Amino acid sequence: MSDNDVTTATTDSVPAGAVVVGVDGTEKDQAVIEWAAHRAARGGSPLHILRARTVLAGVAPGMSPLDPGVLETLEQVDDSASVESAVELARRAEPDLVVSSDRPWGTGPQALLAASETASLVVVGSARKKALEQAVLGTTSLAVAMHASCPVAVIPEGCDPLRDGPIVVGVDGSKDSALALERAFEQGVAQQRPVVGLAAWHLEVIDGVVVTTPENPRYAEVEERYRAMVARIAERPCAEHPDVDFSIRVVRAAPDRALIEASGEAGSVVVGSRGRGGFVGRLLGSVSHRVLQQAQCPVIVVRAADDRA
């Protein structure tokens, strides 16, 4: 794309069903691009690289930030090298991949949310936060994960994006987690990786008795109930994808801690954006938020409204 190609944050330039990756010119771009290119190639999708250009305040009174004169001035100081480098990196990672790019005007979240209307997946990076900073995931990654119209993958800084490992899915019985499991099976086929359905429970009360330890005679009953729940939800994807190696893991732990711990060996973690107080809770629940903050592998957020993952 030439320097004179000026677009705003719309869906017009995004190929239908593309994997869209947002870049910002920082070091974390490499891992994000490699993961997105690998995912697109395995899924038979095109890759679209997007870097938003924010129009700064300070234009003359009465002049729109998108007036030709303002855009021409900003074009003179805009550096497109990062986008060109991103395209080259994607093509080196996957030589047969169809790659396009765009530099729309607007904020990063605006551009990526607009792209999510057409994309099959949006991929963003997230800088690793120190302990005192973990309450803030990052404005772009958090906004996109909360509001995108398609699934969103967040690649944490410092992780190995192509690490071997199973696809781990948080399952709590909700509609969102059921769809997350279906999407994980589809990726298990594309990437030839096993899928693990992970259910976590912290405390159960049966007939007035609090169950917390293996010594309790009801402990095995609780575990079996959660295992049966996962098995029931997995019936359809297992039937549709019989070649996927699927297993169930039930652990006694807080759901977020269970997923974060599993992320240490997983190739990716998949969660629904809402759940039953287990793996998530609101538009982007507290569990999903903490997993996105602390996971050691890519995390994919899926909503029940998503039907194009």
Per residue in 219-254, pLDDT tens? 888 999 999 999 999 999 999 999 999 999 999 999
Split into its structural domains, the chain has a count of 2
Domain membership flag for residue 162:
no
Same domain, 132 and 173: no
Render 181-197 in DSSP notation, one character per residue.
Answer: HHHHHHHHHHHT--EEE
> What are the tokens at 30?
């490499």
Query: Per the domain annotation, does 216 fall within a domain?
Result: yes
Average confidence (pLDDT) over 114-133: 79
pTM over 0.85: no
Mean pLDDT of the chain: 82
Dist. CA 97–CA 107, nearest whole Å:
27
CB 285 within 8 A of CB 273: yes
- State the number of CA atoms in the 13 A half-sphere of 255 facing the CB: 30
pLDDT category at 63 given cuts 50, 70, 90 is: very low
> Are 152 and 174 in the same domain?
no
Residues 6+ apart with CB under 8 A from 37: 47, 89, 90, 93, 94, 97, 99
Q: What whole-number percentage of the chain has pLDDT above 70?
A: 77
165: left (phi over 0), alpha (psi -120 to 50) or beta: left
Residue the block writes with tokens 């250009």: 53
Specify if 111 maps to a domain.
yes
Considering only residues 38 and 2, tell me which one the structure prediction assigns the higher pLDDT: 38
56-84 mean pLDDT: 54
Decide if 309 is inside a domain: no
Shared domain for 129 and 26, answered yes or no, is yes
Question: Is-contact 249 198, C-beta < 8 A?
Answer: yes
Dist. CA 178–CA 272, nearest whole Å = 8
The CATH number of residue 35's host domain is: 3.40.50.620
Q: Please tell me whether residues 218 and 129 are part of one structural domain.
A: no
Q: What percent of the chain has pLDDT over 90?
A: 51
36 and 149 inside one domain:
yes
Range of the domain at 151: 19-156
Closest by CA position to 108, among listed 168, 239, 179, 20: 20
134 with 197, same domain?
Answer: no
135 and 218 assigned to the same domain: no
Question: Which among 114, 131, 156 is the end of a domain?
Answer: 156
Residue 178 lies in a domain: yes
Whole-number pLDDT of residue 4: 41
What pLDDT is stored for residue 59 in this prediction?
A: 46
Domain check: are 151 and 180 in the same one? no
Q: Are residues 145 and 198 in the same domain?
A: no
The answer to whether position 308 is within a domain reads no
Structural domain includes residue 4: no
Tell whether 225 and 125 lie within a shared domain: no
- Which residue shows structure tokens 């030709």? 68
Using CA atoms of 292, 298, 301, 307 in order, give the dihedral in degrees to the nearest 10.
170
- Per-residue pLDDT band for 66 (boundaries 50, 70, 90) equals low
Q: CA separation (Å) from 116 to 99, 148, 196?
A: 17, 6, 27
Confidence check: pLDDT of 1 > 80: no
The Cα–Cα gap between 275 and 296 comes to 22
**Which own/partner pairs from 98-101 qualify as long-range (CB within 8 Å, at least 24 positions apart)?**
98/15, 98/46, 98/47, 99/37, 99/46, 99/47, 99/48, 99/49, 100/13, 100/15, 100/18, 100/46, 100/47, 100/48, 100/49, 101/1, 101/48, 101/49, 101/50, 101/51
Q: Which pLDDT does position 145 carry in this prediction?
A: 86
What pLDDT was estimated at residue 53? 82
Least confident of 47-56, 156-165, 276-285: 276-285
Q: Which amino acid is at 37?
A: A
Q: Which of the listed residues 156, 186, 206 is the one where a domain comes to its end?
A: 156
Using CB atoms within 10 A of its CB, is residue 278 exposed (0-12), middle (13-18) or buried (19+)?
A: buried
Amino acid at 207: D
Q: Average pLDDT for residues 81-105, to the nearest whole number?
A: 92
Residue with tokens 């994006």: 161
Please tell me whether residues 249 and 139 are part of one structural domain. Answer: no
Q: Given 156, 180, 211, which residue is the final one in a domain? A: 156
Establish if 274 belongs to a structural domain: yes
Reply yes or no on whether the pLDDT at 5 is more than 50.
no
- Identify whether residues 237 and 139 lie together within a single domain: no
Q: CB neighbours (10 Å) of residue 56?
A: 9
pLDDT in the model for residue 132? 42
Range name among 14-28, 59-73, 96-110 with the lowest pLDDT average = 59-73
Q: Phi and psi at residue 98, in whole multiples of 5°?
A: -80, 120
